[in-house]
């Protein structure tokens, strides 16, 4: 029964997202194209690894730390209003707490990876503890989505040899970043976040953008942040992985 309910919820969420997307006019930011990556232990994100094959002026929208019952729906609405697709890197503990919301994210056409189980500083953990955290987050992802996660982003972008090897062996892509907006300060305003985004875009010119859907100021600022991308002529590229 629970399985049937989950499928119904996912279908309804997809329908709602599709309906919103269909209502987007020519002035919407939109999603320019989709890159489908192999399920392999690749390493992307120019801040630490190889850059994705993006043209100048192309960006990938990514969000960490969710799903958040309070904030993720606001982010989803802003994305739907602009017909823009993103990738959400979810924590295992939040997947267990809010599985329906996680399925809604994917049901609305976004892709998902994991962002550890409890967001620890991995360098402070033993190898066994790091692997246990990975195991728990992968299990949570599989329980919610029925498949293994295709991608992983390190908490604080703090990579460790133990987890890099484990992810490579499991054919899980490591997704680092190219630019961010440092959106974890509770007192941040929409204007401040928009200024940071403009500055980061001017410096990088393309790449994977790190944001946080669990952060209240970010969720509130999303309509403005997407307008910044549109005003500056940036195109959104969506990441997906082979099934």
Q: pLDDT tens-digit profile of 154-212?
A: 999 999 999 999 999 999 999 999 999 999 888 899 999 999 999 999 999 999 999 99
The pLDDT score that the predictor gives to residue 211 is: 98
Give one word for 45, left, alpha or beta, with left for phi > 0 and alpha for psi -120 to 50: left
Which domains occur in the chain, in start order? 2-241 (3.20.20.370)
Unique residue bearing structure tokens 């320019």 = 32
Q: Taking a C-beta distance cutoff of 8 angstroms, is the pair 171, 200 a contact?
A: no
232 to 51, 54, 201: CA distances (angstroms):
21, 17, 9
Of how many residues is the chain composed?
Answer: 243
The pLDDT score that the predictor gives to residue 18 is: 39
Report helix, strand or coil for 84: coil
Q: Taking a C-beta distance cutoff of 8 angstroms, is the pair 168, 201 a contact?
A: no
151/89 Cα distance (integer angstroms): 8
- pLDDT higher than 60, residue 149: yes
Q: In the beta sheet, which residues pair with residue 238?
A: 34
- Tell me the per-residue pLDDT of 6-59, one tens digit each, with 9 for 90 and over: 333 343 333 333 334 446 878 999 999 999 999 999 999 999 999 999 999 999
Q: Taking a C-beta distance cutoff of 8 angstroms, is the pair 64, 87 a contact?
A: no
Q: In the beta sheet, which residues pair with residue 58?
A: 235
Could you tell me the pTM of the whole model? 0.90
- Tell me the per-residue pLDDT of 135-145, one tens digit each, with 9 for 90 and over: 999 999 999 99
């Amino acid at each position: 029964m629970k399985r049937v309910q989950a499928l119904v919820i996912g279908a309804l969420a997809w329908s709602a997202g599709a309906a919103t997307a269909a209502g987007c006019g020519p002035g919407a930011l939109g999603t320019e194209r989709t890159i489908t990556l192999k399920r392999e232990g690749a390493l992307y994100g120019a801040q630490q690894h190889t850059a994705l094959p993006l043209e100048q002026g192309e960006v990938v929208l990514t969000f960490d730390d969710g799903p958040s019952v309070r904030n993720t729906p606001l982010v989803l609405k802003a994305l739907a209003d602009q017909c823009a697709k993103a990738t959400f890197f979810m924590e295992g503990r939040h997947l267990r707490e809010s599985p329906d919301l996680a399925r809604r994210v994917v049901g609305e056409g976004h892709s998902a990876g994991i962002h550890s189980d409890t967001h620890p500083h991995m360098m402070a953990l033993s190898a066994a503890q790091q692997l246990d955290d990975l195991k728990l987050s992968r299990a949570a992802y599989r329980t919610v989505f029925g498949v293994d996660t295709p991608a992983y982003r390190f908490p604080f972008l703090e990579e460790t040899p133990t987890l890099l090897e484990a992810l490579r062996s499991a054919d899980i892509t490591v997704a680092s970043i190219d630019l961010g907006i440092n959106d974890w300060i509770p007192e941040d305003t929409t204007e401040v976040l928009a200024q940071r985004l403009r500055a980061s875009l001017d410096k990088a010119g393309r790449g994977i953008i790190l944001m946080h859907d669990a952060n209240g100021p970010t969720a509130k600022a999303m309509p403005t942040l997407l307008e910044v991308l549109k005003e500056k002529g940036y195109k959104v590229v969506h990441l997906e992985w082979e099934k």
